[in-house]
Amino acid sequence: MQLPPALTTAIAALLEGVPRADMVAAARKQSAGYRKGATSQAIVTPADAAAYAVARMPATTAACAAVFARLAEVMPDFAPASLLDVGAGTGAASWAAVTQWPGIETVTMLDHNPALRALARKLADGGLLARADIVGGDLGADKPQADLTVASYVLAELPEASAAATARHLWASGARVLALVEPGTPDGFARIRAARTALIADGAHVAAPCTHDNNCPISGDDWCHFSQRLPRSRDHMLLKGANVPFEDERYAYVVVTRDKVSSGALILAPPLETKPGLTFKLCDETGLRAQFVASRDKDAYRMVRKREWGDLF
């Protein structure tokens, strides 16, 4: 997956003239804080915000881009004209959305952090998001109704117990489609699952990743998540102390809509390849199941052999 080139350029521009040692120190401080449970409230100065944009925004943009690509696949007629990005931060989800649907005319980014809003504005200027409305305010405040509402990596900043109520509140604001994206961790999945259950109870239908509205069949210490590979810039490698030019962002998500969408079975893990064939871990309205496709069954094998984790079967 390639990031929007204008975004890559705008992020690279943030580093012009900044001593790399300062940026590395800021990014490391932020990562250490996140590991200890800190939230983006610790982002106060322009340098803090820039460190977030350089270190995390490419990955959160890529996760949102993957979610929107799947949404476009299962709802090919969905052509949002308006977007509401709540807890927008530096605008990752908005960049991904306007890249997927260039017909989006109205973009509202809402966030209570002034440093992140200021950077969102700076990154947006001159690009596809130049006309975006970037407003301060709390998630719980009144919001404009939008064809697509997205909250990406936001529920993680709230207590787990409020994930469902927040999702319901966002749904009640009248979105045609609501997308929630979280880190692909057990905690991230727990919030997504709680939100999914509450939204279905409120009459929403799941468009992705699930292909059904039944109870989530995942149990025990398993969790539903996906992975998106994205390129790392040299600066990103430096900030993260990485030695490969890519990163794999793990994410969990749910997208709900007002109308039922039906789309078969979902592949929940990397397919297991053996000499006799491929085994897929699938989730559909019957629950979880393993499906074996023999390589000697040439037609069926040809149809599925390129299918990957996160794809529809």
Ligand X SMILES: C[S@@+](CC[C@H](N)C(=O)[O-])C[C@H]1O[C@@H](n2cnc3c(N)ncnc32)[C@H](O)[C@@H]1O
106-111 and 133-136 strand pairing: parallel
Q: Closer to ligand X at the Cβ: 122 or 212?
A: 122
> Nearest residue by C-beta to ligand X?
89
Contact between 228 and ligand X per CB under 6 A: no
Whole-angstrom distance, CA of residue 101 vs CA of residue 105: 10
> Using the rule CB under 6 A, is 147 a contact of ligand X?
no
For position 157 contacting ligand X by CB under 6 A, the verdict is: yes
C-beta of residue 282 within 8 angstroms of C-beta of residue 267: yes
Phi-psi region of 186 (alpha: psi -120 to 50; beta: other; left: phi over 0): alpha
The reply on whether position 57 binds ligand X by CB under 6 A is yes
Closest CA to 256 of 190, 216, 197, 215: 197
- CA dihedral (165, 169, 170, 174) in degrees, to 10, reads 140
Q: Collapsing DSSP states into helix, strand and coil, what is residue 206?
A: strand
d(CA 108, CA 43): 21
Q: How many residues bind to ligand X according to rule CB under 6 A?
A: 18
Q: Please identify which residue in 154, 167, 204, 282 interacts with ligand X, judged by CB under 6 A.
A: 154
From the list 21-29, 99-107, 150-158, 192-200, the region that binds ligand X by CB under 6 A is 150-158
**Interstrand relation of 205-208 and 226-231 (parallel, antiparallel or unpaired):** unpaired
**Tokens found for residue 193:** 């699952």
Is 116 a binder of ligand X (CB under 6 A)? yes
Residue 133 interacting with ligand X (CB under 6 A): no
Interface pattern 65-94 for ligand X (x via CB under 6 A): ----------------------xxx--xx-
Nearest to ligand X of 57, 266 (CB atom): 57
Nearer to ligand X, 153 or 171 (CB): 153
CB of 81 to ligand X, least distance (A): 21
Footprint of ligand X on this chain (CB under 6 A)?
Answer: 40, 57, 60, 87-89, 92-93, 111-113, 116, 138-139, 152-154, 157
